[in-house]
Structure formats: C-alpha cells, structure tokens
Chain A
Amino acid sequence: MKQYGPTQGNILGSINRRFLLKAAACITGAAAIGRVPAVWAATFDEVKDQYMSAGIDWRQAAGSRIQLAGLTHPWMETIRPLVPIFTNLTGIEVDVVEQSNTEYITEMPVKLAAKSASPDVYMVWAQGQAVSGGWLEPLSSFLADSSLHDAQWWDDDDNFPGARSFSVWSDGESYTRTITAEAQTLFVNRALLDAKGQSIPGTFDELRATAAALNDGDVSGIAMRGKATGDAVAWPAGGYVFSHGGGILGLDGAVAMDSPEAIAGVDIYARTLREGGPLGVANYHWLEALNDFLQGATAFGCDSSNFATDISNPDKSQVADVATFAAFPKAPSGVSKPNMWHWLTGINRFSENKKAAWLFLMWATSKPTNLLGGAAGLATPRTTAWSSDAFKGAFGSEAAEAALANLANTDGDIMKATWFHPQAGQVLDAFAIAVNEAITEAKDTESALKAAAETARRALGQ
C-alpha cells in the first residue's frame, strides 16, 4: 500500500500550482457555461496519483451509475466539473441533479419519505430531520471496511474540529460527510467608513452605533437578514444570541429563546437593523443583504464567510477593492460566538448503489478534491485546502483569515442543539417570526420571544 504523505508542509508539492490554477479556471469556466471542459481529459493524469495512493480499489464498482442531488450552491458548482475525474478514476458514471433551494427542500422530503432509490448521494439540508426520518445510510460499516476506506489517506484530522463534530450524530454514528465550512463574519465597506471617519467596530453596540451613524438614506449602515422565515433571519440572529450567552434551544434541548440572554441578543440585533438598516430590511433574505453589500449600498454586512467568494469577485461585486473582513463583534461580556454552518452530504438509505455512492462520498471529501475545490474559491472544511495559496487567492486572504478566526470562536454545541434538532423547522420558524416582529416593532422583543417560545414548546411537547 502506497503511503500518502500526510499534512507534511505544502501539498502543492504534489499537486502543482500550475495545475491548481488551471483547475480553478476550469471550474469557474464550467460554472459559467454549465458544461464540463474537455481539457480535463488531458489534465487528469496530473492529479490521478493523488487518488491512486489511497489503499483501496477505486474500480470495484466500475460500470455502475449513481445520481448526486443537491441545491444550486457553490459546492455543487465546484464539484460538477470535477466529476469527470471521479468517473475516469472509478468507472462510475454520475448524474448530477441540481435544483434551487426551494425546489430541493420541497421535492426531497417527498421522494425520501416515499423510499425512492434515487438520488444515491445528496446534500443534507437538515440532518436532524434526515437522521430521524431514516433517510441516511449509517457510514460506520464503510468506515470500518478497509477495502472501502483508507482512513490514513482520507485523514479526518485534516478536517476542522467543527466539521468533524458535524458529521458525528448524537448516537455516535456517522451519517454524513462535511463539505463546507462557514462562520458568521463581518463584511466592511472600508470606503464608506473612511468617508465618515469611522473605524471597524468591535462590539455589537459599537456596530449598532457605527451603522446608525452611516445610515443616511442613500447608503444604509448595515444590511442583514430580516425575513420572517426559519431559513432567513434565524441564522444571523443566532450568533447574536449565542454571544450573549443564550441559546435558541438550550444544550438540554429545552426551549431557551425567551431567556434574558437570548432576549438581549435579539434586542441588539433588531435595534441594529432598525437604526442602521435600509428601508425594507425586515423582508431581507441573504440575497438582498448580500446584494446591497455587493452594490456598495451598505457599509456593513454580517453573514456567512462564504459570501467572500462573491464579494471578492470583481465581476459580481462593485466593492471588491474596498471590502474587508473582520471579526464577528463581541457582546458586553467580551464573548464572541459567531454562528456557523457546515454543509453535509450523505448516502440515501434506499440507494441501490451504496458502494459506488460511498466511493463518491469519500472521493468528494478527500484532500485532493477539496484542494481543487479550494482553488476555485470554495470554503471547504479542510485545513490543507485553507492553507493553500490557490484558495487564499480565490477567496481573498483577508477573508480567509477572518473566516478562520471566526470559525475558531464558534460554539458548535449550542448551535447544534437547535439546528440539529429533528424539529428544528418549527423552532426556527417561531424564532424567526419573533426576531422579525422585533425588527418591525410589531411587538417588543421580550413579548415576541415569549410568544415564540410558547409556540416552540407546544410543538416540542415541552
């Protein structure tokens, strides 16, 4: 068995820089035209050794055909053009099915609940629901089988600790592999700050005051999500709650969104948007929030570090030169616990090609694949990818630094207590409505959260 040199120094020694840049160009190009570039066939040999060094037989499921399903997400756009490498390596054909977020979360539960055999591999949008519903194949038998998994080659320790914890469920079983890493990060339009002699704030209250000072009707101070749905305002408001020492659900699973800490967090979130946000921020999803920032229409944004890829891209962004990335602010106590997320993929419990599906999963989350993805600007969960120059170039090294620092401050347990709950949907929906009501002042923060907590308790039977 060939030993793959672990994380010794720069992996660019084995996948050379020229190749990575070419790969990045291919992926970006492919994402733009939606097709797979022919150039892969020629470059495949350059990367093949990286995979061949794994101590398994990649071709053991040759000839089979699997379906990968996911939503229109940077990960899908990155992995799609890399699929020919996998097919060439394993002889397994992969049909990639990509849908918008809404279509995906509408169709997938129907398919999976009906025990559909396709897709074989899919992006997991709510692990709590999927595990509880029995829609994910446990991975321990694959992990234990040395003919299917080379643990040393795959090198789990290279994954961020948070990423590792995301892929282990509370019962100790693994149902998923982690594919991205993101943490709540402050985006700053330096030009707007400089024009008014403001500096980058360090606490929530400073952020609120600075945003309010910059909000002049033409340009807003800050744009964050405000829309009253569980997938919108709940996530960024979550970081505010965590930093104030609260939780949406507590670590014991009890509803905690009406605790004084949570109320304090939501209160400052709502005040910040009221005083510093643009008109209509209460209906903002991340699309609107990101767009305002890209257009230079707002001084601050505070959302997923992943948005750096767009913010640093001059084709999409008017602020690529003047944007900078900063630490998530601190609560009065000095604590900063930004919210976090790792996207996950898993194998359909009812798949008829589990071996091929597993090979794909391992390939897609391996070091070389992540390195290639990182070169295209994808925020993977692997240390080696993040430390590569190609990634820093595509993502922006300042953005990478800020994201890493914020990732290090996250508290996976308190976030998972809510987001991994099987009934996260109900809880987040109630929470989101309360935050929205606090922003629009339909109710005061406390009574909004108390009412939401009641709704959540009823839903959870507490």
Chain B
Amino acid sequence: MAGDTILELKNVAAHYGRIQALKGISLSVREGEVVSIIGANGAGKSTTLMTICGIVRASEGAVHYAGQDITRVNADKLPRMGLCQVPEGRRIFPRLSVAENLDMGAFFRRRKRRIRADMEMVYEYFPRLRERRSQAGGTLSGGEQQMLAIGRALMSRPKVLLLDEPSLGLAPIIVKQIFDIVQTINQEQGVTILLVEQNANLALQASNRGYVLETGKVVMADDAASLLDNPDIRKAYLGE
C-alpha cells in the first residue's frame, strides 16, 4: 500500500529561545501510510509537527513535502498544498459555530459546491456534528471538539494529515471511535497520516510504522508490529 515518500524530515533541529527542543530529527512518511511518533512528555513530538507546519521555524535541517522544500514556507501556505494539522488541544475556534469551524477548514478553497459536499461527508463521518452545527465550538464536549478538529482538517482535502494527541483527555470509548475513524479516513480517502501519541499501544496498533522520540531525538524506528513486540518499548511506553 505504501507509495513514494511524501514527507521527509532531514536532521531537523528547532529551538524555543535558547532551549533546543529538537536535536536533529530525521523521519520519512510514504504516501498512504499511517506513521506514529511516540514518546514521553516533552520529547518533542508536538514540536516536530509544529516545525513541519512552519509554526516553529527549523533552525537546522530541511523539511521536504511532495518533492518541495517547505522549511521556509509560511504556515498559511501549507493547507493549500495538502498538508494539514490537527493540533494538540484541538484549537477549536470557540466563538465560531460548528459549521463555521468546518468552513474555516476549507478557507482557501473557492468552490462552494464542493465545500458543501465535503461538509456533508464530514457530517457522515461524525453525525454528532450535524446535530450541533449551529452551536458555538467552545460549548462542545471534548470528544465532539476532537471530531470537529478532525472534520475541519478534512475540509481542506488533505493529502497528509498530522494528528497531535487525538486521545488527549478523552474517555476510552470515544478514543476508540476516533481511532476507528482515523483508520477509515486513511483507507477510504487515501489520506497519509502522521500521528503523535502518548498512548503508544493504541497508536502503534493503528499504524504501519512508528518512531520513538526521546528528548528531541529519534531513538528507534521500526514497523509498528515490531515496536509493539520490542521488550524495551513495552517496558518504557506500554506500562509493562
């Protein structure tokens, strides 16, 4: 199922002020894959995604996407190139309605009819959002907000979707639903997914491959299945 490499990080470093958050990350994602990045708090997982998107500027190294160097491309140019992120904490626009939030996902698109159709598609995936479409985003529950955040990202018709901690603070049953939908999106729409998770077990089960991050470095990279079997990983991240 995996095609050509679509997203590649070459030795990327990033700083917050003087603190170095990433110390040379290299990873690659092939078209159609689900790849997860696991690691403890503060390992640099979210920073990796923010650096890919250009919110945090890479101080060294390069980010390549679909054959282009996007290291210095401004964040707001990326969605129309098909690279889209669901950030940590969902970042719903709290005072926009659910429908407006979804519309924001398609902000750079001009074709109204296709946007309508995509919105219908999102409502198919997440029927709850249809019920709440005129409610303000900030009034939704955590699970609904996560659905809305994913739905909003889908509205941009992404080729690659970066998902940051979709399970954060959600009840296990909701987490299961969300992961099911993530896999459906990958299979039905052919969206490549790069997933960041603390819940390593869940993430690896849903992925083809995985990277393990520790204090800003990749310490291990392997097939998801092998990582799940690896005794070190089991001990450090799977709570055994």
Do A and B make up one complex?
A: no
Binding site for A on B (CB under 8 A): none
